[in-house]
Amino acid sequence: MNEELSRIRARIMNCTACPLHVGRKNPVPGEGPADAPLLLVGEAPGREEDETGRPFVGMAGRLLTEMLKEAGVPRSSVYITSVIKCRPPGNRNPKKGEIEACRGYLLEQIAAVRPEVVVLMGNVALNSLKEVWKLPGGNIGEISGELYDRGDFKVLVTYHPAGVLRDRRRKRPLFVSHIRLAEEAVKKRGEGWLGLRLEEFEG
């Protein structure tokens, strides 16, 4: 972990910017290499994440690890974080004020890691940054599987692993294809990545 990520982590661990800090056991800043080429953004910590302080360690997290492996991307090579760093009560969706309170941390983490591709997993991640990065309108099914250029990095939208759990037959191969596309964009940096399309990587 580089010095900037360490500073961000320390601030998250002591954050009281929204009411979620009252009921948390552990904030979940995120984890992964400080120079990871892929940075994955989820929604918020769940029960097991709150217990351990680590992202994606529950059932959806285990599926995420499997899908990354299937795509040829070791989990240890990506940086994983979420829009919200503290667990919402009952795993409810984060509120607007909570998202806004945490957004600065997320943007700072992205700037510190400097990934090639930021992967937004699920509607909460998409909606939290849609206006900031001027992403196209539409739901995930409509705008996933395309690389959106945001200057220093690309953005790719895909399904949240919890959503894949509910529809594995259809969404799992799509998620794996999306990650393969992101990985290929990293490999082809400077070689016309804008020409890449999802259908080339569907297995």
pLDDT tens, 159-197?
A: 999 999 999 999 999 999 999 999 999 987 755 444 444
pTM of the model: 0.92
- CA angle 136-140-142, nearest 5°? 65
CA angle 88, 90, 95 (to 5 degrees): 35
pLDDT for residue 200? 44
pLDDT for the residue 50: 97
Angle between helices 168-187 and 59-70 (to 10 degrees): 50
Report yes or no: 156 and 125 within 8 Å, Cβ to Cβ. Answer: no
- The whole-angstrom separation of Cα 43 and Cα 59 is 14
Per the CB < 8 A criterion, the answer to whether 106 and 100 are in contact is no
Which domains occur in the chain, in start order? 3-188 (3.40.470.10)
Low-confidence ranges of the chain (pLDDT < 70): 1, 190-203
At residue 1, the pLDDT reads 64
Q: Are 179 and 158 in contact (CB under 8 A)?
A: yes
pLDDT at 190: 52
